[in-house]
Amino acid sequence: MTFWELNLVFLGLAAAVLGLAALAGRLRVRHAGAVLATTGVLWVLTAVFDNLMIASGLFDYGHERLGGVYIGLAPLEDFAYPLGAALLLPGLWLLLTGSRRGRED
């Protein structure tokens, strides 16, 4: 299994959870802006800290399973995990907290 195949499973599940929150009517436009902003911040942090960790030798990848596109030393596949987290966690939050009576959205 390549990292992209693993990413497709992870991102598919994350998108499905966020989609369920949207279908339940709990996702608002302001939530989408927060997801986009969070994704951008997480990607910058991933670019910085993955490169530092790889450069210091903390971990390495099986390069035969990578797509071959890198941002610095970090493979592009690494940037799917912050995207998945930025989709999954708000979706879970919205589904599990539900709507409250008398609360303005």
The per-residue pLDDT for range 9-60, each reduced to its tens digit, is: 999 999 999 999 988 888 888 888 888 999 999 999 999 999 999 999 998 7
Tell me the C-alpha to C-alpha distance, in Å, between residue 94 and each of 45, 74, 88.
25, 32, 10
Instruction: Say whether 22 sits in a helix, a strand or coil.
Output: helix
Instruction: Say whether 62 sits in a helix, a strand or coil.
Output: coil
The per-residue pLDDT for range 76-102, each reduced to its tens digit, is: 999 999 999 999 999 999 899 865 544
Q: What is the reported pTM?
A: 0.80
How many structural domains are present in the chain?
1
**Residue 75 structural domain:** 3-7+32-95
> In whole angstroms, what is the distance from residue 22 CA to residue 12 CA?
15
- Report if residue 102 sits inside a domain: no
- Report if residue 57 sits inside a domain: yes
pLDDT of residue 3: 87
> In whole angstroms, what is the distance from residue 3 CA to residue 76 CA?
10
The per-residue pLDDT for range 46-75, each reduced to its tens digit, is: 999 999 999 999 987 777 778 889 999 999
Place of tokens 């610095």: 72
- Report if residue 20 sits inside a domain: no
